[in-house]
């Protein structure tokens, strides 16, 4: 498998440190509010990637942190009038709800900052001992000038960074590039004991500490996150980790592209974000997953309602094939012209193509496209009877393996779907009566009345779908 490695800016053959095992770490949320669709991208991408690794027989030790100690959490907790850890626990719960709706599986470990303070303190103390960090009035900073390779991940050089750096008044650090490993607590803030007094960890240190803690190794196979984390977050992780261990911190850096709105980056600070919670009101989680996975993970995606509507249409096309396969397989027999089928060769080719796409820097967009090609072949074979039961089972195996188990986009239920047919409320009962009347009118070939009912309901946003078994309705 080839992966694009941010640090070397090219695709490289993926070889994990230990054969058959992948240690991967993905930056998790700072839990102080509900997540937006931009946050959902890495969740979905790396969830699917992890499932793919599992499918090719790797054991995956997948670590995602919850940042539950942070300035933003402290500020928000004052607003909401509850303790910071309580607030974080609340939003961890909300995060997990969204993750579940998006079919994102639980990580192997979800370490919290608040539960790893002793390890962090030890890490920081070790950096001071090595001359890579210094203490000022209870704060501890990483000393960038003593760490020569600084900038190697993000491709920046120290001089340029210094030239462009902002210098805040009253800063205690020696150089604007130095970053906080430990922050002295202000009065009344949540804090822990340390050799430097009461305080709490800086932002970057948690990932370094916890990734080593939960892999038991100085080196991760894969570290993932959004592109905006490359600098300074991941750069700083590299500096402190490699400064501490003198070993490569991460072998493969994977960074996902942004979600934009009107071509502008979606971010909390710009205020142009859409909450996952709100989008889920209008679209199933699988549609959101499809939307994300139908573009290569490193490219930007522009978010808008139209794009999700299109995703839903595409996905429903795949769903039709999935359902068709289920129905035909349940008949438990070969097609009438089973002898002339050419499905087995075609399916084998498709499977090869899918694997090739996923092996090449996890190209889910390309992999998905083969299911549309496959769908055409399958419906054609089913319509002409040129199929064997075994071929349909093979096809179903492929659809289920890749679209359900790995990508997690099938099966899905339309939010306002056919389950409304039996809606037990006044409106549902009234519509059922209208449908009975319409069926009666149509049976007497009184299409004028039948169409009137259909048109009027349609104007109300109720769509009638006629099938051989009768008429169904759903909200549009």
Partner RNA sequence: GGCGACGUCGCCAAGUUGGCUAAGGCAAAGGUCUGCAAAACCUUUAUUCCCCGGUUCGAAUCCGGGCGUCGCCUCCA
Q: Site residues for RNA, window 242-281 (CB under 7 A)?
A: 256-260, 263-269
Question: Judged by CB under 7 A, does residue 42 bind RNA?
Answer: yes
From residue 433 to residue 472, the character string flagging contacts with RNA as x (rule: CB under 7 A) and all else as - is ---------x----x--xx--x--------xxxxx-----
125 vs 153 by CB, closer to RNA? 153
125 vs 387 by CB, closer to RNA? 387
264 vs 305 by CB, closer to RNA? 264
245 vs 316 by CB, closer to RNA? 316
102 vs 266 by CB, closer to RNA? 266
**Class of residue 84 by CB neighbours under 10 A (exposed 0-12, middle 13-18, buried 19+):** buried
- The DSSP 8-state label assigned to residue 27 in this structure reads -
Query: Residue 117 and residue 133: Cα distance in Å, rounded?
Result: 18
- The DSSP 8-state label assigned to residue 440 in this structure reads H
Smallest distance from RNA to CB 341, Å: 16
Reduced to 3 states (helix: H, G, I; strand: E, B; else coil), residue 265 is strand
Question: Judged by CB under 7 A, does residue 332 bind RNA?
Answer: no
CA atoms within 13 A on the CB side of 442: 14
CA atoms within 13 A on the CB side of 107: 22
- Segment 178 to 217, residues that bind RNA, using CB under 7 A: 203
| Contact residue for RNA among 82, 307, 338, 415 (CB under 7 A) | 307
42 vs 111 by CB, closer to RNA? 42
Contact range with RNA by CB under 7 A, out of 15-23, 183-191, 293-301, 408-416: 293-301
CA atoms within 13 A on the CB side of 1: 22
| Contact residue for RNA among 1, 2, 158, 432 (CB under 7 A) | 2
86 vs 418 by CB, closer to RNA? 418
Contact range with RNA by CB under 7 A, out of 77-85, 99-107, 314-322, 337-345: 314-322
Apex 423 CA angle, 439 and 316, nearest 5: 85
- Segment 375 to 414, residues that bind RNA, using CB under 7 A: 375-376, 379-380, 383
Query: Residue 428 and residue 411: Cα distance in Å, rounded?
Result: 26
CA atoms within 13 A on the CB side of 115: 12
Taking phi over 0 as left and psi of -120 to 50 as alpha, with beta for the rest, 132 belongs to alpha
| Contact residue for RNA among 215, 363, 391, 420 (CB under 7 A) | 363
**H helix runs in 133-274, sequence order:** 158-164, 205-215, 235-245
Token pair listed for 319 = 């769903």
Question: Judged by CB under 7 A, does residue 316 bind RNA?
Answer: yes
Contact range with RNA by CB under 7 A, out of 80-88, 148-156, 276-284, 389-397: 148-156
216 vs 467 by CB, closer to RNA? 467
- From 49, 30, 393, select the one nearest 201 (Cα to Cα): 30
Total residues in contact with RNA, by rule CB under 7 A: 81
178 vs 242 by CB, closer to RNA? 178
258 vs 412 by CB, closer to RNA? 258
Smallest distance from RNA to CB 352, Å: 13
Query: Residue 9 and residue 370: Cα distance in Å, rounded?
Result: 28
Mode of pairing for the β-strands spanning 179-184 and 199-201:
antiparallel
Query: Residue 217 and residue 384: Cα distance in Å, rounded?
Result: 57
From residue 13 to residue 32, the character string flagging contacts with RNA as x (rule: CB under 7 A) and all else as - is --------------x-xx--
- Segment 92 to 121, residues that bind RNA, using CB under 7 A: none
Smallest distance from RNA to CB 37, Å: 8
Question: Judged by CB under 7 A, does residue 153 bind RNA?
Answer: no
Q: Looking up tokens 């072998």, which residue turns up?
A: 251
From residue 55 to residue 74, the character string flagging contacts with RNA as x (rule: CB under 7 A) and all else as - is -----------------x--
56 vs 440 by CB, closer to RNA? 440
Q: Looking up tokens 């039948």, which residue turns up?
A: 450
Smallest distance from RNA to CB 240, Å: 15
Question: Judged by CB under 7 A, does residue 84 bind RNA?
Answer: no
Residue 122: Cβ within 10 Å count: 11
Taking phi over 0 as left and psi of -120 to 50 as alpha, with beta for the rest, 5 belongs to beta
Output phi, psi for 451, to 5 deg: -70, -30
């Amino acid at each position: 498998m080839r992966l694009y490695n941010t640090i070397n800016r090219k695709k490289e053959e993926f070889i994990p440190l230990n054969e058959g095992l992948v240690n991967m770490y993905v930056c998790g949320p700072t839990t102080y509010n509900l997540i937006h669709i931009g946050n959902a991208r890495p969740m979905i991408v790396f969830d699917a990637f992890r499932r793919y690794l599992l499918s090719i027989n790797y054991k995956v030790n997948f670590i995602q942190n919850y940042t539950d100690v942070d300035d933003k959490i402290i500020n928000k907790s004052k607003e909401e009038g509850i303790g910071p850890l309580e607030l974080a626990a609340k939003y961890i719960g909300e995060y997990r709800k969204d993750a579940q709706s998006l079919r994102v599986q639980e990580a192997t470990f979800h370490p919290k900052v608040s539960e790893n303070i002793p390890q962090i303190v030890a890490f920081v103390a070790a950096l001071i001992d090595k001359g890579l960090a210094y203490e000022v009035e209870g704060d501890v900073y990483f000393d960038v000038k003593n760490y020569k390779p600084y900038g190697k991940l993000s491709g920046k050089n120290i001089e340029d960074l210094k030239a462009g750096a902002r210098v805040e008044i009253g800063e205690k650090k020696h150089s604007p590039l130095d970053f906080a490993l430990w922050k002295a607590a202000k009065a009344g803030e949540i804090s822990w004991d340390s050799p430097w007094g009461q305080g709490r960890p800086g932002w970057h240190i948690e990932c370094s500490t916890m990734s080593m803690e939960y892999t038991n190794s100085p080196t991760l196979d894969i570290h993932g996150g959004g592109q905006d984390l490359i600098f300074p977050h991941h750069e700083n992780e590299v500096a402190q980790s490699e400064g501490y261990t003198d070993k490569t911190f991460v072998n493969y850096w994977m960074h996902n592209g942004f979600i934009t709105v009107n071509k502008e980056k979606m971010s909390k600070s710009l205020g142009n974000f859409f909450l996952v919670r709100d989008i889920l009101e209008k679209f199933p989680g699988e549609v959101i997953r499809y939307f994300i996975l139908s573009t290569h993970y490193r490219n930007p995606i522009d978010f808008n309602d139209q794009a999700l509507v299109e995703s839903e249409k595409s996905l429903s096309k795949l769903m039709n094939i999935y359902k068709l396969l289920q129905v035909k397989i349940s008949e438990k027999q070969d097609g009438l012209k089973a002898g002339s089928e050419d499905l087995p060769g075609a399916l084998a080719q498709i499977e090869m193509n899918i694997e090739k796409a996923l092996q090449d820097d996890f190209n889910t967009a390309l992999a998905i496209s083969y299911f549309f090609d496959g769908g055409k072949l399958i419906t054609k074979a089913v319509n002409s009877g040129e199929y064997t039961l075994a071929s349909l089972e093979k096809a179903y195996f492929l659809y289920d393996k890749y679209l359900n188990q790995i990508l997690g986009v099938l099966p899905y239920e339309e939010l306002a779907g056919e389950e409304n047919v039996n809606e037990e409320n006044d409106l549902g009962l009234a519509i059922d009566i209208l449908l009975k009347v319409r069926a009666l009118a149509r049976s007497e070939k009184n299409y004028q009345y039948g169409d009137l009912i259909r048109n009027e309901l349609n104007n109300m946003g109720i769509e009638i779908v006629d099938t051989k078994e009768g008429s169904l309705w759903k909200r549009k």
